Every structure is written in C-alpha cells, then in structure tokens.
Structure 1
C-alpha cells in the first residue's frame, strides 16, 4: 500500500516485500493456474449453490474488472449474481474512486435489497474491509485475497507504484482515516486467503486474527499473487465461503470443500 509510515518504518517491517525470485515467477505461475482452473471447470460438476446472492468483486491496485473475469465467471457458474466494480483501473484512494465505489456498492445493495458479499483481491480486499466497517449491516461477509491490511504489511513490491500513483493522480484527504478504520477487527464474517509464496505482498500482513464472533479465519493456499483470482484452489475457497450462513458459520475445511465440489449435483 501507500508508505504512510515512511521509509524508516517500512524497513523495520521487512524491507520491500517478498524475495525477488518469487516476484519473477508471478507471471509463469499465473499461466499454469489459469489453465488449471479452466480445465477443472470443464470436468467438475456444476453446483448452483449461490442461490442468486449478490457479490461485488473489487480488483487489486492497477487492475481492472477484466483481470477479475476468471473469478467472476466461476462465481456466476455457481449461481451467484456477480458484479464488477466498474471504476476502470484501481489507481488508489482518490476521491473519484472512493465515491465511485460507494455509489456502486449502494446501487447493488438497493437493487437486491439484501446484504452484499464483497470479494477483494489485494488492495481490493483492503477496500472490502473498509466497506465492511462503513456498512456493517449491508455487507454479508468479506473474502480478502492476498490483501495486506496490517501496518506491518504496508511495504510491498507494489509500494513504489502506489507512491507514483499518488504523485500522478493525487490522494484523498480521507485516505489515512480510511486505512486507520479498516485496521480494526472486521464487524462481519471475514476470510483472509493468503499464500506464503506470494511474490508481491508479505503474507503475514494479510493474515487476520482468528475470531468466532464475528467469524474471522485464515486460509492458506499455494498460489502466486496475481493468480489469486484464477488459482483453482482459491476459487474453491471463495465459493465455499460465500455459501456459508453467517448465522451458522462453519470453519473452513479442505476436506469438506473439495467433497462438496466433486459430489454429484
């Protein structure tokens, strides 16, 4: 994220992020993850388990709705009513994007007249946390994919891009209060999906403190960072969590998730 704490604090939090070798492997790994997810969808039984519930998917920094297309198409396959954020490239906490996100969320909430689940990828997950804190009665749950929300995860391989974007596009006066707010415990069920082999963000900054009320849990996956919206295991986690009843929450289990996925429809 933005280097709110300055270079000195960033250095104390672990330098510039994951090892460079992991960064260089991001794109090759994505190709394999994307191919695997398409192949598995061809053979796995279709399970329309979403019951038409609304889901908003927020892309990561510098990403667009097009880059979350694989995730959204998978959720649609499971009968969720999935929506992109329609703000173009996610260039950070500008007034235009903040106001646009609020308008988009409120529009979906009004359209369905029920709480909306929010899935955020990377910085999009940080924004999902902010929506949960701002609209706790209107957000059903959040799923954050490789989202460095903690202060000790502030310095990442993308921090330089955030700072260049701040110089080019500016930053809202609301930015720092937003970050301070979202760093509190999420007031709705929250699932943090992270990878220890993430090549862009430090995984420890993405993990949440486990809680039962409201539920907060971590799910570790073998994935690249940019592949978190295409990796077949991540897609299984997202579907499984979005199918949970917030009032009867069941802790994530790989055995249960995969058994449900491959059982006859």
Structure 2
C-alpha cells in the first residue's frame, strides 16, 4: 500500500532566518573535529555515490567525499552538474540510473547512495527503480515523506526545476519515493532544520537518526559525517 504524505507545516521563521549563520558554524566546526572524525572504523572499499541537493553540484559535497575516501571507501561524484530536478537526471531518472550503473560496472559492486536534501529523494527513487544496482541508501535532511509545502523551499524548487509540485506526474513520483525501500535505508534528520520539516525526512519502519543541525551546510556538520561513517560500518550510529 502506498504511503500517505504527512500533513506538516514548514519550519518556523526563527529557524529559517538562522539557517545561513548556522551553516557557517557547521563549516567552522569541521575544521576543529579532525581527531573525532578519525575515531571511526576504516571503510571496506565499497563504492559510494554522493548526490547533491537542490541547485548544488558536486562541489557542495567535496568534504564528505574526501572524508569517505580517507576512511577507505570509494566515493564518487555524480558528475551531472547542478541538481535541477528532472532537468538534470531525466524525466524518469534515466541519467542518474545510468551514472549508478556506470559506477557499479567500474567497481563490480552495487552502490551505496548518499543523498543530501533533494539528492536523497532522488537516491530513493533510484533504489525503488534499480534495486539491483543499489546496496544501501542514506538520506541527509531529505523531505521525502511529507507534502512539499512542509518546507520553506518549495517555491524555489518550482522556479529552479520548472516542475510543479501539484503536477500529477510529480505527485506520483513523490508517492513512490515515500514507500519503504527494498534495500537498507537510513534517514538522518534534524528537528532544528530551518528549511524542511524534520518529520518529513523519515518514515516508520526505516532507520532514522536525529542530529542537531541546520539544513544549509548539513553535509559539513562533523556530527553528520560521523553518523554516516558509523552507518556505513554497521555500527550503532544513534547520535549522542
């Protein structure tokens, strides 16, 4: 049975207006967290593909990919340019699926997908459509389980992508993406997110881990990086 989108409100203004200062703090904390970031088990060489958020490119995830590579994983960029929704990945995701297939063919293994915000929504679509290519999905601040109006960015989404959230095709994709995945899934979310409602970033029956973070720069938050490393290693990554 299809999952119903949660009826939620967007984050309050007090969180939204503090997003960019808090995002800068994430980046500042990263520089001082080197020892903590090293105190996680080494990776096993598996391929990991990192998907950026709305309007972002691979540059936004350079720190995450570099961290995973240093741990011993093989972290790949998505090489599709800025994330402008279907304009970038194809109407049915075909360009993204081709990229995942290329990484799987190069490495000889199914691919772990880590998606930030809109990138996580796309990662879930790929896992539903091509579970043969996907080992695991980790979403970071991705509002896949709620109405798009439970965010403060849905108008920006429409403007940047040319898609309309009430379009029947888009609504059908949202419904598909919100269904439980056929592969292991972890949702990293924050109740203090100022751009998307944290409750829209997780569903019952799938693992969810709460962190304290802004939405902007969430992929630079050392707490988030440590959680991702622990999830990849199969550890108890519940944030303390």
Normalising by structure 2, report the TM-score: 0.87
Partners of 1:237 and 1:131 in 2: CA distance: 22
Distance 1:59 1:114, change over 3 A: same
Deviation sequence 1:217-260 (CA, Å, 0-9, x none): 1100000012220111100000111112xxxxx653447xxxxx
Larger radius of gyration: 1
Aligned: 1:126 with 2:121:
yes
Aligned: 1:117 with 2:112:
yes
Aligned: 1:179 with 2:174:
yes
Partners of 2:236 and 2:229 in 1: CA distance: 14
Find 2:7's aligned residue among 13, 23, 30.
13
Partner of 1:213: none
Partner of 1:262: none
Partner of 1:39: 32
Pairwise CA distance, 1:135: 1.6
Runs of 4+ in 1 over 4 A off after TM superposition: 172-176
Aligned: 1:218 with 2:208:
yes
Distance 1:94 1:201, change over 3 A: same
Partners of 2:135 and 2:228 in 1: CA distance: 14
Comparing 148-157 and 188-197, the one that deviates more: 148-157
Deviation sequence 1:37-60 (CA, Å, 0-9, x none): 222125754656212110000001
Partner of 1:94: 87
Find 2:47's aligned residue among 32, 47, 54.
54
Preserved contact between residue 57 and residue 83 of structure 1 (Cα < 8 Å) = yes
Partners of 2:42 and 2:204 in 1: CA distance: 28
Pairwise CA distance, 1:167: 3.5
Normalising by structure 1, report the TM-score: 0.79
Pairwise CA distance, 1:73: 1.2
Distance 1:226 1:82, change over 3 A: same
Partners of 1:96 and 1:136 in 2: CA distance: 17
Partners of 2:102 and 2:47 in 1: CA distance: 11
Aligned: 1:252 with 2:226:
no
Partners of 1:50 and 1:200 in 2: CA distance: 32
Distance 1:197 1:95, change over 3 A: closer
Pairwise CA distance, 1:23: 1.4
Distance 1:201 1:53, change over 3 A: same
Preserved contact between residue 126 and residue 144 of structure 1 (Cα < 8 Å) = yes
Preserved contact between residue 81 and residue 88 of structure 2 (Cα < 8 Å) = no
Distance 1:168 1:191, change over 3 A: closer
Unaligned runs of 5+ in 2: none
Preserved contact between residue 154 and residue 205 of structure 1 (Cα < 8 Å) = no
Aligned: 1:25 with 2:50:
no
**Secondary structure of 2:207 counterpart:** strand
Partner of 1:259: none
